[in-house]
């Protein structure tokens, strides 16, 4: 069942009944943060985990993941956009988060992490033709995700643009669908929309 979490803005009003723009933006920022935390906790992000945020952008989900996993956990934030990564690190510094490690990608499927090194891999709105136009590229990416995920780990996917294709391709990479979650998600660091997140577990054995 889809759940909606309304943004509540605690702001004063002008005499014409309009809320100050600054308070509105602050309320929206707090609301977005709350939504991110809720969906991450629902899908299974827990204290002490090591998480890869693949295609992290400026940290819409990286920052709340870092807060959830805590000092004993770690977040690898991978993206090819250096400006977005710089923005992310500024946010992390402002929030005094020391458990985020930046990985600058060349844009290809290769992930510079050791085998079985992450508990969770997040792939939110990255499996689509804009980033990986060829099926072979997506196949090689999923092989990499399989390689770096621990035996008891899982991957969480929001396939905004390729839902049916994504599931088939992920299952062909030796994962199986474990759970699905519907709810409000954040797109482009500002847009709120209803979406479906799928969690997959590794099938142990050779691909």
The total of structural domains in the chain comes to 1
What CATH number does residue 107 fall under? Answer: 3.40.50.150
Residue 76: φ, ψ to 5° = -95, 120
Q: Is 159 exposed, middle or buried (0-12, 13-18, 19+ CB in 10 A)?
A: buried
Q: Is residue 12 part of a domain?
A: no
pLDDT in tens, 103-140: 999 888 899 999 999 999 999 988 766 577 677 888 99
pLDDT band for 5, please (50, 70, 90 cuts): very low
pLDDT at 84: 96
pLDDT at 190: 62
Q: Is residue 139 part of a domain?
A: yes
Q: Does 198 have pLDDT greater than 70?
A: yes
> How far is the C-alpha of 107 from the C-alpha of 47, rounded, in Å?
30
pLDDT at 125: 83
> How far is the C-alpha of 147 from the C-alpha of 202, rounded, in Å?
10
pLDDT band for 163, please (50, 70, 90 cuts): low
pLDDT at 140: 92
Answer with the residue of higher pLDDT: 25 or 50: 50
- Which stretches does DSSP call E strand in the chain? 50-54, 74-79, 100-104, 118-124, 149-158, 175-187, 191-202
Q: Is residue 68 part of a domain?
A: yes
Q: Is residue 180 part of a domain?
A: yes
Q: Is residue 16 part of a domain?
A: no
Q: What is the pTM of this model?
A: 0.81
Q: Is residue 187 part of a domain?
A: yes
Q: Does 91 have pLDDT greater than 90?
A: yes
Q: What is the DSSP string of 14-75?
A: -TTSPPPHHHHHHHHHHHHHHHHHHHHHHHT--TT-EEEEET-TTTTTHHHHHHHH-TT-EE
Q: Is residue 9 part of a domain?
A: no
The whole domain housing 88 covers 21-202
Query: Average pLDDT over the chain, rounded to whole?
Result: 82
Quick one: average pLDDT of 157-183? 86
Q: Is residue 81 part of a domain?
A: yes
Answer with the residue of higher pLDDT: 24 or 119: 119
pLDDT in tens, 34-70: 778 888 999 999 999 999 999 999 999 999 999 999 9
> How far is the C-alpha of 53 from the C-alpha of 130, rounded, in Å?
18
pLDDT at 136: 85
> How far is the C-alpha of 128 from the C-alpha of 76, rounded, in Å?
21
Q: Is 37 exposed, middle or buried (0-12, 13-18, 19+ CB in 10 A)?
A: middle
pLDDT at 194: 83
Given a contact cutoff of 8 angstroms between Cβ atoms, the answer to whether 26 and 138 are in contact is no
Quick one: average pLDDT of 67-85? 97
- Using CA of residue 183, residue 186, residue 192, residue 198, what is the dihedral sign? negative
């Amino acid at each position: 069942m889809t759940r909606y979490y309304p943004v509540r803005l605690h702001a004063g009003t002008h005499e014409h009944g309009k809320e100050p723009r600054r308070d509105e933006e602050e309320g929206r920022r707090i609301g977005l943060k709350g939504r991110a935390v809720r969906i991450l906790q629902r899908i299974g992000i827990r204290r002490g985990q090591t998480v890869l945020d693949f295609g992290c952008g400026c940290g819409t989900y990286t920052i709340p993941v870092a807060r959830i996993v805590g000092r004993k956990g770690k977040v690898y934030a991978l993206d090819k956009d250096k400006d977005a990564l710089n923005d992310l690190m500024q946010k992390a510094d402002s929030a005094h988060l020391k458990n985020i490690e930046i990985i600058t990608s060349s844009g290809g499927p290769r992930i510079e992490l050791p085998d079985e090194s992450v508990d969770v891999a997040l792939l939110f709105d990255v499996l689509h033709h804009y980033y990986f136009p060829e099926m072979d590229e997506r196949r090689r990416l999923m092989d990499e995700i399989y390689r770096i995920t621990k035996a008891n780990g899982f991957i969480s996917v929001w396939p905004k643009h390729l839902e049916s294709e994504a599931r088939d391709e992920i299952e062909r990479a030796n994962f199986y669908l474990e759970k699905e979650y519907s709810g409000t998600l954040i797109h482009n660091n500002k847009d709120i929309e209803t979406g479906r997140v799928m969690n997959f577990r590794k099938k142990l054995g050779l691909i």
